[in-house]
Amino acid sequence: MAQVEIGRAARERRRLELLEEAFRQIRIFCHDFSQPLMVLSGYLELINSAPPDDEKYPRDSQIEGLEREIQRLGSIYHKLRDTVMHCRKQMELTDTLPPG
C-alpha cells in the first residue's frame, strides 16, 4: 500500500515538473514574441508620422496590412499569456488540495 502511494506521489511530482517546464517555455515564448511586436509597432508609428507627401513611405493597404498583423500578433500574445496565467493558478490550486 505504501509503495503504491510512493509511486503515485512520484508520478504526480513528475507531472508537475513537466508542467512547470512547459510553463517556463511558454513564458520565454511570450517574452520573445513581444519583442518583434514592439519593433513592428515602432516602425509603423514612424511611417505614420512621415509627411503625407513623402513618397518614401507608402500610405496604402500595406500600412493597413501591417496594422492588422500587429493586432493579430498582439491578440495571440495576450491569449497565450492569459492561458499561462490561468494554468499556473490551476496548478497552485491543485497543490493546495488535500490528498485523496
Q: Which domain holds residue 54?
A: 2-96
Count the domains in the chain: 1
Please give the mean pLDDT across all residues of the chain: 76
The whole-model pTM stands at 0.54
CA dist 76 and 55 (Å) reads 33
List for the chain the helix, strand, coil content (%; round to 5): 85, 0, 15
83-99 tens-digit pLDDT: 888 777 776 766 565 55
Tell me the average pLDDT across 45-74. 74
pLDDT of residue 94: 62
CA dist 15 and 76 (Å) reads 27
